Structure 1
Amino acid sequence: MTEEVLEPDLPICDPHHHLWDFPNGRYLLPELLADIGQGHRVESTVFVECGAFYSAVKPQPFRFVGETEFVAGVAAMAESGRYGPVRACAGIVGRADLAQGASVTEVLAEHVRAGGGRFRGIRHAGAWDASPEIRVSHTEPPPGLYGLPAFREGFAQLAEHGLSFEAWQYHTQIADVAALADAFPETPIMLDHVGGPLGIGPYAGRRDEVFAAWAADIADLARRPNVWVKLGGLGMATLGFGFQKREVLPSSAELAEAWRPYVETCLEAFGTGRGMFESNFPVDSVSCGYGVLWNALKRIAAGCSAGEKAQLFRDNAVRFYRLDL
């Protein structure tokens, strides 16, 4: 489905997308730029780790650095201007095994080196659920990862390198992020995808119940000033909307109606100063196209002032990731 672009002159920094080349799909710079070319004014982006392009020759703790090396090359391609004005991958969030403890500091230093001035943080996903119907994160975390002593020993190294942390877990684990934020109040933490409310497996058919529990935890988490939130990831199949099963994908108006309660709850809790809209592409492409997604987010933000829109669509991302634009 294609739609006329709403507010085409509104500047956007897309603070969460991936690049990969897997047997079941490819999403590299040409595909990203093709999506951006649908008409929204996306000026810059932030890459977030996704398990692609790990090194096959580096020692085990450093193999994740291969992904950063690859993305830094993509960013350099974009900066050449040969592919247009978009500053793709102006910020890079990579992966490291923080559970290896204090020795992870050497891996972090290699990420910073490989990023060429663009490396900004680490995501060590902790999404886990006891149900076999719920897919655990690609990091295959144990339950309670964010509370493990070894993980926290590794987490403590982030501040030394000036890095933020990207938290990805399900709604049942939001309290773990709150405890982590309390333990490390000086380290900026980004909550991905509005905290991961589940709507599949044992959570299917319980949307109101899940929403109430999720909203209470979001309100509590937001009291930590070092925690920010990404407003997106709502097109993933895990939320249980079932859009990906439809022959004709939903319009931006329908998406906005479904997603609005989650976004507005986060904005009420975090304010417009600690939230940012994201695409989560290509993951969210199962539910909609890139252009339709940004239209949906613009519909949700229709009641915001011009200054609030500037914060949510660009300025907060540039500030959190300290982008040099």
Structure 2
Amino acid sequence: MNMPTTTHTQDDLLPTLKAPRLNPDWYADSPETILDPGRRIIDAHFHFTDHWAGYGLNEQLADVEAGHRVEATVFIQCGWNYRATGPEPLKPVGETEAVTRIAEQALAQGARAEIAAAIVGHADLTMGAAVEDVLVAHQEAANGRFRGIRCAAARSEAFRFGVLPRPERQLFADPNFRCGLQQLAKHELAFDAWIYHTQIQEVVDLARAVPEVPIVLDHLGGILGVFEHAQRRREVFAEWQRSVRQLADCPNVFVKIGGYAIAISGYHFEQYLTPPSSQLLAELWRPTAEFVIETFGAERCMFESNFPVDRAAGHYATVWNAFKLIAQSASESEKERLFSGTAAQVYRISLKT
């Protein structure tokens, strides 16, 4: 009997890194006392999604109204609610349409924070100049909220991870991709780059090639702490530092500080018996956060919750307490940039006076 044969690619044979399972008991506990409650915050990175136990308007409102003075949030593309039909290039516009509906619902409800004040969506930039039609469609769908494009290039040859499709190798070096990226400048749009620390050089090259586009490095550049990287954390930290110094020479690049609970970091918070305190989180996160702030300057750095993914590290209130502890010794002007000013500049958000 002839059995059907299955063709496997090299990617199919790679181990898969799974996202951490969230502990609902951690959210049932009362959050910590809020530190520096008057500090204005723009949460520079969150997702509405059906993944990670789901995260919708009710969940975000519960978080941003938990005590910190969160005045606006920035939605970042995650492949959610794409259109099921129609031209392939326009399918990601469905995400922008869905987020806009939620943002307007929050506004109608009188939410204290401006939910999804800025929306960063997705477009296939390898379309080159033709991607402009997609950008316009996003802008029309967002009713004035559309601020940028994210293309995930995060790729390791050692494992597979993520909800987003596995990207092509050297995506950012593709000439068509760079042509597409240039279209963002025409519309005053920023570009969010999600990569691993082993790929920071790709962002350096991209930033130099298209200096007119603001580029935001998500999650400090995705410092790997899993598989073989877990066995040599000091070497990895030194490698990351060298790459970050080089990237800081590109004046159009900004950095988001957060994303520490992503599985690739290797912290494994979900294995803790009790949720980590903000003091513990600050101790763990301070070396990388302080290095980025010192290297780029506070004027090019911004804190991000990365919720709901970073719910694996604890309550929203606890995560922002940790950031406030990290920034404790910063000047008032530096704190303003880290917690709201940089995000307001990059994503063109006007806070209420």
Global fold match (TM > 0.5): yes
**What aligned pairs does 1:1-325 form with structure 2 within 5 A after superposition?**
2-22=31-51, 25-80=53-108, 82-132=109-159, 134-135=160-161, 138-325=164-351
* RMSD (Å), alpha carbons: 1.3
- Identity between Structure 1 and Structure 2 (%): 47
Q: How far off is 1:37 after superposition?
A: 2.0
One-letter amino acid of the structure 2 residue matched with residue 176 of structure 1: E
Measured against aligned partners, the alpha-carbon deviations of 1:227-286 in whole angstroms (never above 9, x if no partner) come to 000011112221111212222121111110110011011011110100001100001111
Measured against aligned partners, the alpha-carbon deviations of 1:177-211 in whole angstroms (never above 9, x if no partner) come to 00000001111000000010000012112110100
Q: How far off is 1:84 after superposition?
A: 2.4
Q: Distance in 2 between matches of 1:265 and 1:310?
A: 18
Q: Distance in 2 between matches of 1:187 and 1:62?
A: 22
Q: Distance in 2 between matches of 1:197 and 1:25?
A: 24
- Whichever of the two has the greater Rg, that structure is 2
Whether the 8 Å contact between 1:54 and 1:65 is mirrored in structure 2 is yes
Q: How far off is 1:83 after superposition?
A: 4.1
Q: How far off is 1:136 after superposition?
A: 5.5
Whether the 8 Å contact between 2:45 and 2:307 is mirrored in structure 1 is yes
One-letter amino acid of the structure 2 residue matched with residue 48 of structure 1: I
Per the normalisation by structure 1, the TM-score is: 0.96
One-letter amino acid of the structure 2 residue matched with residue 52 of structure 1: W
Moved more, 290-299 or 97-106: 97-106
Measured against aligned partners, the alpha-carbon deviations of 1:36-82 in whole angstroms (never above 9, x if no partner) come to 122111011110011111011231110000000111111112222x2
Q: How far off is 1:153 after superposition?
A: 2.0
Q: Distance in 1 between matches of 2:163 and 2:180?
A: 19
Q: Distance in 1 between matches of 2:316 and 2:132?
A: 36
Whether the 8 Å contact between 1:237 and 1:244 is mirrored in structure 2 is no
Q: Distance in 1 between matches of 2:149 and 2:163?
A: 15
Q: Distance in 2 between matches of 1:311 and 1:245?
A: 34
Whether the 8 Å contact between 2:42 and 2:73 is mirrored in structure 1 is yes
Unpaired runs of 5+ in structure 1?
A: none
Whether the 8 Å contact between 2:178 and 2:210 is mirrored in structure 1 is no
Q: Distance in 1 between matches of 2:162 and 2:172?
A: 14
Per the normalisation by structure 2, the TM-score is: 0.89
Equivalenced residue count is 322
Whether the 8 Å contact between 1:128 and 1:136 is mirrored in structure 2 is no
Measured against aligned partners, the alpha-carbon deviations of 1:6-35 in whole angstroms (never above 9, x if no partner) come to 11111101010000134x622011000111
One-letter amino acid of the structure 2 residue matched with residue 170 of structure 1: Y
Q: Distance in 2 between matches of 1:295 and 1:89?
A: 22
Q: Distance in 2 between matches of 1:243 and 1:206?
A: 19
One-letter amino acid of the structure 2 residue matched with residue 49 of structure 1: Q
Q: Distance in 1 between matches of 2:315 and 2:241?
A: 28
SS of residue matched to 2:161 = coil
